[in-house]
Amino acid sequence: MAKPKVLVTWPYLFPEADELLQRETEVTYHKEERPMSRQELMEALSDKEGLLCMLFDKIDGEVLDAGPHLKVVSNLGVGLDNIDIEAATQRGVVITHTPGILTEATADLGWALLMATTRLIPQAHAFTKEGRFIGLRYHIFLGKDLVGKTLGIYGMGRIGTAVARRAKGFNMKIIYHNRRPNPEGERETGARYVSFQELLKESDFLVIVAPLTPETQGRFGSEEFRQMKRDAILINIGRGPIVKEKELVQALKEGLIWGAGLDVYEREPEIEEGLLGLDRVVLSPHIGSATVETRSAMALVAAQDLVRVLKGEKPQHSPNWERKD
């Protein structure tokens, strides 16, 4: 029996995932380490039954129509804002993704950004490597204390709860805002649910962990920054378009908030130019889940669910498996 044809939109995954796909499918990989163009993607899908794509691949109705034999689109990531789920459901295409696996790694990265921004670590690192260190000086790279401060979390799901759990070690007061209260997260972390306005006004450190939805898009702009503490620090490990970057740059220049750490961007991979020259900004290239263990596990689950669907079996993680027919 012929193996089902599958497209992977990157030249390689991780060994276990690649071995599984090569064993169970006739897999084709994109040949270059760059996102496939829309035209390339559509042409490559013409005879494929499965697609394993990345978060930067936009999968809408037109792309799905270019793959008339498609049965499954497996997204290598937890977020699904790059995929039109309704369009896929209408065409009988199952969507899968990789939630849960990246929770701890992403929470770690959020804290790494928070601490790097708070203590000006990248700036101090560059200063030292440039040979400018001449001994202890008492008035350079003065950051801020964490212990006893208020951590605000926008989006108290799995990752938000993991971020809050880490704050307990710093004896921080934890507040959060969600679409609805998270009693389980509150019991685990001692966090307190507050209104969005309270979150803005009370947080010393505000970490964005929310998914991108019509309600969260552009949620943080000039009006919100004006309500925050002047010495507050904003961290975004959720989705870039939640923050209006031009307005963030202006807020930082005007001293409305003290600093920011970003791992995701409004028009990714483009970064608002004004962010690049600001002293109290730490930027990372969307590496929230970038550990060997986590990315390997994500790739394996993405490959496993793709193969499961092609065999007619229920995937581990799908937003539309029950509705596909």
Catalytic residues, by residue number, are: 239, 268, 286
Phi, psi of 112, deg, nearest 5: -60, -45
Instruction: State the Cα angle at 24 between 67 and 13, rounded to 5°.
Output: 75
Alpha helices in 25-120 (DSSP H): 38-44, 61-65, 85-90, 103-118
CB–CB of 101/298 below 8 Å? yes
The CA-atom distances, in angstroms, between 187 and each of 190, 193, 257, 299 are 6, 12, 31, 32
Strand order in the sheet with 173-177: 192-193, 173-177, 150-154, 205-208, 233-236, 259-262, 281-283
Tokens of 20: 């599984």
The CA-atom distances, in angstroms, between 322 and each of 88, 92, 319 are 13, 11, 8
d(CA 255, CA 247): 12
Phi, psi of 281, deg, nearest 5: -125, 130
Q: How would you classify the pairing of strands 205-208 and 150-154? A: parallel
Beta bridge pairs of residue 207: 153, 235
Instruction: State the Cα angle at 93 between 91 and 96, rounded to 5°.
Output: 150
Tokens of 230: 């002047």
CB–CB of 73/51 below 8 Å? yes
